[in-house]
Structures are given as structure tokens and as C-alpha cells.
Amino acid sequence: MPWSLLVVLLVPAAFFCVLWAVFPSPDEPPRWRRRLGAALGRIGERLHPRRRRARRRARRLAAEVRLDDVGDGKVAVPDPFLALRVQTRLGKVAELARTIEDEPRSMARAERLIATQLAYDDLLAEACELAGVQLRNRAKGDPQERFRKEVELAERGWTW
């Protein structure tokens, strides 16, 4: 009896595997599915609250930075509360990265550390924009570029 049950289960499975191999799925989805996906993406973009918040935040950041006359030219001076908020977030993310590095037996340690470092790099880029530090196009997670940004911010009086 057990052998017959095994045969009854394995024969249909093998048949469907062969049938699946004979009729492979196309590499590119059909045109109607691409159009439907694009339409749903546009609807989701309009309805997604995080994206709307990000657009509002970008407009608010642009409005909060004002130009002041310093020396010969005009220099962008950010809102001090916005700069303080970015400094606080930088400190928290840096502390989280140090905590992850100090835990030798944590689960998915490398992935968590990489994600934290990328978040730290994004915050550094935001701080550099506020402080007027020139950003360079480098690969994400470049330690030399991270160090350069930290030094430039420290020269401008930023602490975290």
C-alpha cells in the first residue's frame, strides 16, 4: 500500500513538472499587464501617503532654507531647528550602527549594519545640503566619501 500511494503522488507531480518545462513562461509580461501595472503605479503614487509626505517635505525644506548675505556672496542658511533635527537623527543612527557592530551574535547582523550605514549616508547627504557642503557622485556606502562629509560637517561646527 505505501508504494502505491507513493506512485500515485509522484506520477502526477512528474507529469506537471514536464508540462511546466514544455510551456515556459515568457520573459516579458503581455502588453495589457504592463499597462495595468503602470496605471496602478500612477494611482498608488497619488494615493500613497509616504510619497505625498516626501514631496511636501521637499517643498518645506526648500522653503525653510533662506539666503543671507555673508561676505561677498549669498550663502544658504538653514532653519536651525531643522539642522538640529538632522543632527539628532544622525546621532541616533550612528549610535545604532555602533550597537550593531558591538553585538557579535545578532541575527542578520551584516544586513542590519549595511542598512544602517546607508541610512547614515543619506542623513549625511541631507546635512551636507543644509550646511552647503558640495556633494560628489560616489558609490553608495563609500567609506572615504563618508569620512570626507563628516570632516566637512565638523569643520562647519556640526556635532552629533
82-102 tens-digit pLDDT: 888 899 999 999 999 999 999
Nearest-angstrom CA–CA distance, 26 and 23: 9
Based on the number of CB atoms within 10 Å of its own CB, is 115 exposed (0-12), middle (13-18) or buried (19 or more)?
Answer: middle
Over the stretch 30-81, which tens digit does the pLDDT of each residue have? 677 778 877 877 776 666 666 666 666 666 666 655 555 445 555 556 678 8
The reply to whether the predicted model has a pTM over 0.75 is no
Within 10 Å of residue 100's Cβ, how many Cβ atoms?
Answer: 19
Of 55, 73, 75, the closest CA to residue 65 belongs to: 75
The three cell numbers of residue 12 are 502526477
The three cell numbers of residue 80 are 536651525
Over the stretch 66-75, which tens digit does the pLDDT of each residue have? 555 445 555 5
Nearest-angstrom CA–CA distance, 40 and 102: 44
Nearest-angstrom CA–CA distance, 157 and 31: 55
pLDDT > 90 fraction of the chain, expressed in percent and rounded: 25
Nearest-angstrom CA–CA distance, 122 and 137: 13
Based on the number of CB atoms within 10 Å of its own CB, is 90 exposed (0-12), middle (13-18) or buried (19 or more)?
Answer: buried
CA 11 to chain centroid, in Å, comes to 47
Place of cell 525644506: 61
Nearest-angstrom CA–CA distance, 115 and 97: 9
What is the predicted pLDDT for the residue at 52? 64
Contact 158, 87 (CB under 8 A): yes
